[in-house]
């Protein structure tokens, strides 16, 4: 589920047969079934991974959904005022238990995806990709084992991508192309709010705040 600042909301579930399962609300008051909101039919068993709540997102006037568990991991994406979601096939590892777990749109033509395979030993392909102008580029692998669960981005002394999973959390500096390990805790979700702070949530009640100090890079102050 994702909600825009204007109050529009989309809820998506796993597909059933050859139909997407989606509902939309323009204001959070009334809900409408929108099974035909996607420009292509779903693949067999295609759906989303709800582990981190990051497979559906609204950002920068763009709605974006990542899928998995099917032959091809795909992105469903549309601009705020678009009528239907376009479908883009991705090079993310796919198949049962594999696909896109988290998305981050900059625009319809510029976005990031993270994911992999739920069985850690089968993560033998890139788990983090950048799409721009019709082309996917694999980013350097983070210092985390297993599927990447979450994805967020923040601007602070350059641009940073943050990701996490049960083996910890890490930040990637896009300009220097370097990774920085933030924590070894079991972290399922990261949410950033401007460059003020990022919140990390995980198993067994784990919660932490990542503070970005004005003159400091990379971020190192993770306070559980």
Residue with tokens 């993770």, as numbered in its chain: 222
DSSP 8-state assignment for residue 41: P
52 falls in which pLDDT band (50, 70, 90)? confident
Tell me the per-residue pLDDT of 126-149, one tens digit each, with 9 for 90 and over.
999 999 999 999 999 999 999 999
Residue 48 near residue 14 (C-beta atoms within 8 A): yes
Question: Residue range 177-197: average pLDDT?
Answer: 90
pLDDT at 35: 76
Question: Residue range 170-181: average pLDDT?
Answer: 95
Burial 122-149 (b: 16+ CB within 10 A, else e): ebeebbbbbbeeeeeeebeebebebbbb
Using CA atoms of 189, 110, 57, 66 in order, give the dihedral in degrees to the nearest 10: -80
In the chain, where the domains are located = 1-139, 150-224
- pTM of the predicted model, to two decimals? 0.91
136 vs 111: CA distance, rounded Å: 9
Tell me the per-residue pLDDT of 59-69, one tens digit each, with 9 for 90 and over.
999 999 999 99
Question: Residue range 51-58: average pLDDT?
Answer: 86
CB atoms inside a 10 Å sphere around CB 52 = 23
pLDDT at 51: 72
CB atoms inside a 10 Å sphere around CB 104 = 24
Q: Indicate whether 188 pLDDT > 70.
A: yes
20 vs 222: CA distance, rounded Å: 39
User: Which distant-in-sequence residues (6+ apart) come within 8 Å of 94 by Cβ?
Assistant: 68, 70, 71, 72, 73
């Amino acid at each position: 589920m994702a909600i825009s600042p204007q109050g529009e909301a989309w809820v998506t579930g796993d597909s059933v047969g050859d139909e997407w399962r989606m509902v939309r609300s323009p204001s959070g008051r009334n809900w409408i079934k929108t099974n035909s909101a996607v420009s292509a039919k779903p693949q067999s068993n295609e759906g989303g991974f709800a582990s981190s709540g990051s497979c559906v997102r609204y950002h920068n006037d763009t709605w974006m959904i990542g899928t998995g568990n099917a032959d091809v991991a795909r992105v469903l994406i549309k601009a705020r005022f678009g009528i239907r979601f376009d479908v883009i096939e991705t090079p993310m590892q796919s198949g049962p238990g594999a696909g896109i777990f988290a998305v981050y749109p900059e625009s319809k033509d510029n976005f990031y995806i993270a994911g992999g395979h739920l069985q850690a030993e089968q993560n033998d392909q890139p788990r983090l990709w950048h799409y721009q102008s019709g082309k996917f580029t694999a980013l350097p692998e983070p210092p985390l084992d297993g599927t990447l669960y979450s994805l967020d981005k923040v601007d602070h002394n350059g641009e940073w991508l943050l990701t996490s999973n049960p083996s910890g959390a890490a930040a990637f500096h896009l300009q220097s192309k370097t990774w920085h390990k933030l924590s070894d805790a079991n972290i399922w979700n990261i949410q950033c709010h401007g460059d003020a702070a990022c919140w990390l949530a995980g198993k067994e009640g784990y919660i932490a705040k990542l503070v970005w100090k004005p003159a400091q890079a990379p971020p190192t102050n993770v306070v559980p």
